[in-house]
Structure formats: structure tokens, C-alpha cells
A = this chain, B = another copy of it.
């Protein structure tokens, strides 16, 4: 047995890098710091530090949750929220190395979202400050999934022995991160998605190598009775080029196999199961589910701030 690695100065790039004990360490720091958010009082743990948010793709939840966390700890924040707002916008015009050898002087930690998979990892190679991956293309989304697992852990008191029904587009980064994370726990994945959105072969090979337990199932209905956690992403993507009326029509397009309805929950779900969704949603999760015992997505949103407080404090060495 070795001592635990320190989080000081560490990059948060992939949940492949997290070991079992490290998940619990992060959860415990989130528990320690969440009172600032609950009591709505900014503290002063990070007043002497600056967060740089480098978002090459628009984002609401992830960017604001990360910035809110920094503010809650008294810290400073600057950055950009859209590639169009920066001359460094086009990845192919300026190398990540060149970009990082500028950004690293403007803040003490870099939170990066990028449209290209691997960009935060490339940034971390060159940066003198920690880099937090806030979503990289089809890659990973570790801070979101740490939030999800933290929410799960707070509900069940454990992550072991749980079955997680993952429904949505399996090529999405959250799905990658949560399946990687399962390798560190006694968890089983139940994977439900349209055929054209299924796990890629190379990703399946990786899961096998890591002994991640999962089964592919045809529909939510066929496995919801087994699920402790129902982890959702849309299968219909919002089309922002459409007009109001056209967009409204899209809302009815999710096939029944990939929806979680109030009826289905009442008929088949475990009483103790919880639903997580990083939102925004299309029609895979109708609003009347919000009032069921299962809905945990807004608590999840709140936990997103506590989780980023924990990560920022850890990599900046303000807590251990």
C-alpha cells in the first residue's frame, strides 16, 4: 500500500486517472465545503487565487458551476466563454502549446472545455498550472461525473453494489467518464441506446481491459427494475439552427425505448432508485417526473458547485 497521491497541482483530465480512494477523498472535501453553498456565504479559502475559464464551446452549467465554486471560496475568475471571442479560437490557427504559454500566466488553474477530444490533456502537458477538463469533444467530462457519483454516494452511502442504467447517446463524454469510473467500484452498467449511438468498439475494448461490468439492453423498460441509478442523456439533440416551432416539434421525437416516464417509474422502477440528468433535456425525461421520489437532477445541479469547490481547493492546495 502506498500513501495517497496529493491532489496539489494535479490535472483533472479523465476518470481513468482516479483510484477508488481518491473518489472518496474528493467526496469528503465536497462535504466539508458544501456549507458555504448551503448557507449562501462566500468564504475566503481561495481569495489569493485566480481561475481561468477557457471555454472553446458555449456551456452554461459547467462553466457557471465552476465559476460559482471559485466565487464561493472568495476567488477571482476571468476567461472566455466562446471560441469566437478569442483570436486563439481556432484550434488549427494556434497550437495548444502556444495558447497555454499565455493562459498559464493569467490564472492559477485553467478550466477548459474544448470541441476537440484530448485538447485539455495536450494543454496540461505544457501548462505550469493544473488543468481541469470541463468536457472535451467526444472524450470525457470528469467534473460532471464526479458530481453524479457524489450525488449517488450521498443518497446510498456507498457506490458498491449498485446498478447504473445508462441511457442516451453512448458516444457522449459523460457516458465515457461514468463507465471508466465504474472500474473502481462494485458497480454494474446497464447500457441502453439507439444502435447508431452505441459504445464504439475501441471504447468497449478499454472497458473490458478495465474489467468494467456492463450489459447492453434494448430498452429502458427491460432493465429499469434492476436499476439503482438511472443516468440519462438525450438521444435527440437540440438543433439550435431551428426556429421556435420547428424546435418544438423535435421535442416529441425520443423513441419510447429511451424515455423515462412517470408511468414507467411507477410500474417498474425500484422504489429507492434515483434519476440523474445533467440537463438540458429534450423529451426523454418529461417534466412530470420532477415530482416523483426519484428525481435527483436538481440536487445534482447543486452538488455540481460543491464538487467544483472541492476540486479547485484540492488542486490549488487549499485543502487536503
A interface residues with partner B (beta carbon < 8 Å): 37, 40-43, 47-50, 52, 58-61, 64-65, 67-68, 71-72, 74, 76-82, 84-90, 92-95, 97-99, 101-103, 105-108, 129, 238, 240, 244, 247-248, 279-281, 287, 298, 301-302, 304-305
Contacts and interface: CB of A to CB of B under 8 A. Distances in A.
Copies of this chain, tallied across the complex = 3
A129 B87 CA distance: 29
A49 B60 contact: no
A280 B93 CA distance: 8
A47 to B, nearest CB: 7
Given A49-B40, A50-B42, A108-B40, A102 B240 contact: no
A99 B78 CA distance: 23
A71 B50 contact: yes
Given A42-B49, A49-B40, A98-B281, A106 B58 contact: no
Contact of A60 (B71, B87, B279): B87
A48 B41 contact: yes
A204 to B, nearest CB: 29
B68 A50 contact: yes
B47 A42 contact: yes
16 contacts: A47-B74, A50-B68, A58-B85, A59-B86, A60-B80, A60-B102, A65-B106, A67-B78, A68-B78, A68-B106, A82-B84, A90-B247, A92-B244, A93-B238, A93-B280, A95-B287
Q: Which of A42, A65, A94, A97 gathers the greatest number of chain B CB atoms within 10 Å?
A: A42
A81 B58 CA distance: 12
Contacts of A67: 78, 106
Nearest to A105: B302
Nearest to A92: B244
A305 B105 contact: yes
Contacts of A58: 84-87, 89
Q: Which of A50, A87, A298 gathers the greatest number of chain B CB atoms within 10 Å?
A: A87
Given A64-B102, A101-B298, 5 more contacts: A50-B72, A59-B86, A71-B76, A77-B78, A105-B302
B64 A106 contact: yes
B280 A106 contact: no
Nearest to A281: B98
Contacts of A86: 58-60
A129 B302 CA distance: 13
A247 B50 contact: no
B101 A301 contact: yes
